[in-house]
Structure 1
């Protein structure tokens, strides 16, 4: 098996950023993955005491399909986050400062329009990951499983619908569902598979058009009797991995 695609998602719900390589620490996520999020005004998120909240408390494609049309890129060295709307309106600010977070939050709130609830706030809390699990994870998806799924539904389901960190080749379709509790050597890191990735209505959103034009949750249930595509894993031994690196089931 080998890594074919490697991504991070700096802002929860927004653009995937392709990586050539990354390095993870024990118990952590890919650096800058889900490091920022716009919390809805009714979420009750407390940056002084950050804890897990379900995704609907934040701007996310599950609730906000138009978020797929925002282009975003984060430059950690320059400490600049740029977000551009379809009409060309753009915000560029330092998301690590209160001033920058306020500016970015106002831009995203304006973009959400009626979908904004209360007074949303844009957050970055050092050490906190705004992922959909209660602890930091790395998500991995099997390209063979996606291809089998596409053959069943008779159409393309772009991998960007599923927002994984790692897409890999070389395993039979759905083999990853048997890996729960097993460890994987991923390049120089070791990951332990925790669970399958339960899919939600975010996958309905076409990443190109921002329209809800498919129902992968219903399709998965219809063809396979479950709603999982991909796996979540925790880092048990830190290390570096890159595009093309081998993945080995230990």
Structure 2
């Protein structure tokens, strides 16, 4: 293990609720989410609470792992240069289209309606965040997960916990367990060329109960957190205060 805390995994989730895309590096901008993270979301057909400009909206408007575990059974790969979204199930391609176009979105929507039939309400719509991202928190734009905290949770659950259950952007190894909860809004957090400040801890819900490998609800992690630690939190939301590029292997500095 490195002598200092290190970024070991860098992830974005182009479609809210679907699989992670792993990156080697990413350029971050002040006050913004990771580029193309939660850029798209699947809106319930009955949703009426979406801003017309494609701005941020609460997660209750969308199909997510909280209300549809089956969503985890789809692997989503997004090519930002071409706009093509590729969906796979059990390793086989089931849909591919340029979702920057109305026709491409229709192709993906048709597949999702068939795949999720009986699990969701109304005619699904694939929508795009025009300005930033459909993150769960309006102001907490990136999430950092301390892998040591997950290992401590495993001590409580008695079985391995896949870190992707927590859908983080920045996965850090080498911090003491729960050290991230000692940070405050005045703490300077530097990773690679970027600097961050703490926004808040991340309270966890039933979405973490879904196994990302099997799409089954096979755990109760909020209950394990409450019983083991007296809270429902895992990870922290960060805001970028100084732009820069971060790479897997970068050291984390906290002051």
Please indicate the TM-score interval, normalised by the length of the shorter structure. Answer: over 0.9
- List runs of 5+ in structure 2 lacking aligned partners: none
Q: How does 1:26-37 map to 2 (within 5 A)?
A: 26-37=30-41
Where does residue 210 of structure 2 map in the other structure? Answer: 205
SS, match of residue 114 in structure 1: coil
C-alpha displacement at 1:96, in angstroms?
1.0
2:178 corresponds, among 156, 174, 177, to 174
Where does residue 188 of structure 1 map in the other structure? Answer: 193
Is 2:108 the counterpart of 1:108? no
Q: How does 1:142-181 map to 2 (within 5 A)?
A: 142-181=146-185
CA distance in 2, matches of 1:87, 1:8: 20
CA distance in 2, matches of 1:118, 1:86: 26
C-alpha displacement at 1:63, in angstroms?
0.7
Deviations 1:27-52 (A, max 9, x none): 11111100011100122243523344
CA distance in 1, matches of 2:54, 2:108: 20
Q: Give the RMSD, CA atoms, in angstroms.
A: 1.5
CA distance in 2, matches of 1:53, 1:75: 24
Where does residue 17 of structure 2 map in the other structure? Answer: 13
Is 2:225 the counterpart of 1:220? yes
CA distance in 2, matches of 1:46, 1:211: 29
Q: Is the 8 A contact 2:204 2:232 kept in 1?
A: yes
Is 2:245 the counterpart of 1:240? yes
C-alpha displacement at 1:128, in angstroms?
3.2
CA distance in 2, matches of 1:143, 1:210: 22
- List runs of 5+ in structure 1 lacking aligned partners: none
Q: Is the 8 A contact 1:141 1:229 kept in 2?
A: yes
CA distance in 1, matches of 2:158, 2:200: 27
C-alpha displacement at 1:209, in angstroms?
1.1
SS, match of residue 115 in structure 1: coil
SS, match of residue 6 in structure 1: strand
Where does residue 57 of structure 1 map in the other structure? Answer: 61
CA distance in 1, matches of 2:216, 2:65: 10
Q: Is the 8 A contact 1:26 1:238 kept in 2?
A: yes
Q: Is the 8 A contact 1:47 1:123 kept in 2?
A: no
CA distance in 1, matches of 2:237, 2:28: 15
Deviations 1:197-245 (A, max 9, x none): 1111001011111111100000000000000000000111111000000
Q: TM-score, normalised by structure 2?
A: 0.93
SS, match of residue 116 in structure 2: helix
When structure 1 is superposed on structure 2, of 152-161 and 76-85 the one drifting more is: 76-85
